[in-house]
A and B are shown apart, each in its own frame.
Chain A
Amino acid sequence: GAVVSQHPSWVICKSGTSVKIECRSLDFQATTMFWYRQFPKQSLMLMATSNEGSKATYEQGVEKDKFLINHASLTLSTLTVTSAHPEDSSFYICSAITGRSPLHFGNGTRLTVT
């Protein structure tokens, strides 16, 4: 159980375009979802926390207007990277939790901006 699905697994886009990444909890309702970013050879860095039906909480230094997060249902959260630039190229990972269970992670989305 506790499967988190992330789509797409990889995407290449041109500079200036926007990219949407989906995160779904397949067999449970996720009250809270988290979005992380990971650059090569570095650890995961939390970008934002989203609770279903409310605005996301962003970590310091993360631009909320650039990284739009929508958590419209208990099973789906989306991260949209707007006006992407090469420096936004990274591995984006979502995670989801329900109640007091451990966090479960998606398999990540590798974004390459050319």
Chain B
Amino acid sequence: DAKTTQPPSMDCAEGRAANLPCNHSTISGNEYVYWYRQIHSQGPQYIIHGLKNNETNEMASLIITEDRKSSTLILPHATLRDTAVYYCIVRATTTGTASKLTFGTGTRLQVTL
């Protein structure tokens, strides 16, 4: 799976949009971009994923550049409960053993009052 690069930490004021970048310059054509977050002492929570089109769900939006070498996760109105480590992971959507996720170090997002 392609490697990703994320800033180690970011701050965001409550109520503002949090924009979390991710570089994945070696992504292959069949690899999706997945975002997970991990709140302290909990298991990772799935947020969103996409291939090449921008995606939006009730939690966040995912913007993928046209060349697919980078993406941005957007939390439109961050709250204190969004404070977590956010992981950007790329992998081909497949089945079985190959569907494992390899976690990098992620971005620690701190939402402040």
Contact = CB atoms under 8 A, between A and B. Distances in A.
Contacts of B42: 107-108
A105 B37 CA distance: 11
Q: Name the prevailing secondary structure of the B interface residues.
A: loop
A50 B99 CA distance: 11
B45 interface: yes
Q: Name the prevailing secondary structure of the A interface residues.
A: strand
Contacts of B106: 43
Contacts of B105: 43
Interface residues of B, number: 24
Given A43-B104, A44-B103, A46-B100, A31 B95 contact: yes
B96 interface: yes
A32 B94 contact: no
Contact of B99 (A36, A103, A105): A103
A15 B105 CA distance: 30
Contacts of B44: 44, 93, 95, 105
Given A105-B45, A107-B42, A95 B101 contact: yes
A78 interface: no
B43 A97 contact: no
B97 A57 contact: yes
Contact of A100 (B41, B93, B102): B93
Interface string A21-35: 000000000011010
Interface in B11-57: 34, 36, 38, 41-46, 49
Interface in A33-92: 34, 36, 43-46, 49, 51, 57, 91
Given A43-B103, A43-B106, A51 B96 contact: yes
B99 A32 contact: yes
B95 A100 contact: yes
Nearest to A103: B101
